[in-house]
Structure formats: C-alpha cells, structure tokens
Amino acid sequence: MVGYWKTKAAVRAKVTEAADGSFQMWMEGEKYPFPGFPRSHLLFGKLSPLKHEIKTRIFNESWANLEENKPLDIKDALDSIYAIARDCKYDMLPYFRLCPAVKEMYKNLSHEQWRDILAFIMQEDDAYRWRFQWMSQYLTKKDPIGSFDKAMEMLEHAEIVGDMKERVRLIRRVMNELFKDPIIAQYWIDFVRNSDLKKYRLTKADKFYFRAKYFKVDFPKYEY
C-alpha cells in the first residue's frame, strides 16, 4: 500500500508516459507508478457539477419516483447532463492518454455522449474507476444484466463507509430499473460482451494505491 502519507504530507511526483501512451505519475519512494494523472482543478472544478447532476437528476430523482411508484423518466435529466458535459469537452483527455481500463471502456461504449462522460469521470476520479475495475471481476458475457446485480451486491459488501454502501444500493436499484428499458439494457449488454473484461481488472499498481482508501480491496479473499 502507498505509504508516503505515514511520515509526510506530500512528496515530489513526476508525470511520465507509459508504453501505451497513457499518463502515469511516479511518486518519490513508492513501489509503483500511479495510473493516470490526477488533475485536482477538474476534480473539484468542472467534474464536480457533472457528477452532482448525474447523481441528483438520474439516481436521486429516480429513487424518489420508485418510492412513490411513479415511472422513471430521465429525458430532461439527460438534456441537462449533456449541457454540462459540453462545457467539459476541451478538458477531456484524448483516447491515447487514457488509463488502459478507461481506454477499453471508451472503445466499447457505443453511445457517444455517455462514452465521453463516463471516460471523463473514470479517468479523473480514481475512486469511481477503481470501484468499477474491482466489480468487473463479477461481470460475465453470458449474463451482463444479472452479473451487474451480483457485482453491485459484492461492491456493497466491500465498502467500509455507510454512506458509500447507501450510494451503491442507490445505483444498483435505479440501474436495475433502467435496465427494464430494452434500449438501455442493450447498450449495457453490448458493452459487456464487446469488452475484454480482463482489461478492466485491477493491476498491482491499482491495488497498491486503492488500498489507501476506505475500501476492502482484497474482499472476499481476505475479510477485514
């Protein structure tokens, strides 16, 4: 596990180019390079309202509708999300600079707008990227929808913080409802079946840095 934080508040870092063209960051004294190049001005800047709009308009509002037995309608939400995403266009890294797992995601998402949005979020926010990579071990091409539900169930168990467990339950319930729409379901099925799922798996470097977060990276092999 990354260890500089045990003795100091910060270390020097150097951004380099990996063999595949993606960015990686070497931190002084650490065993592996950090996958990607965190850009805090985006994480706390333009990316923040985009993630907030998705969480509020798609997931929170859909949950409220489900509680009231109302049908889900995300069309207006999509319009507002796409508008915010357009403002982020020039901050999105080109394909060849993306982390390997994000490249595989980008290549297999057939919906152009959501391809750009999800790649942007996964590239800039490693907390989301690593969780997706972790749950990918449970995805199967035979049953993309059913295996998604299983993956989300396992993800909830691997979360440590109660708020994150609730967020996983929120996403799981709403996505399972959205998958009842055959168009949305087919996007997901095609994405899973066209992907090389092994390319989403956490690497040693991913796990090295992921273990510093509040998450049971080695669950269920090791319970803690």
Q: How would residue 6 be classed by pLDDT, with cut points 50, 70 and 90?
A: low
pLDDT higher than 70, residue 2 = no
What is the pLDDT confidence band of residue 223, given thresholds at 50, 70 and 90? low
pLDDT > 90: what percent of the chain? 86
With cut-offs at 50, 70 and 90, classify the pLDDT of residue 5: low
Which two tokens mark 5?
């934080």
As a whole number of angstroms, the distance between CA 82 and CA 116 comes to: 10
pLDDT averaged over the chain? 94
First-to-last alpha carbon distance for the chain, in angstroms, is: 15
Residue whose structure tokens are 């994000």: 102
Q: How large is the C-alpha radius of gyration of the chain?
A: 18
Helix axes 112-124, 126-135, angle to 10 degrees: 110
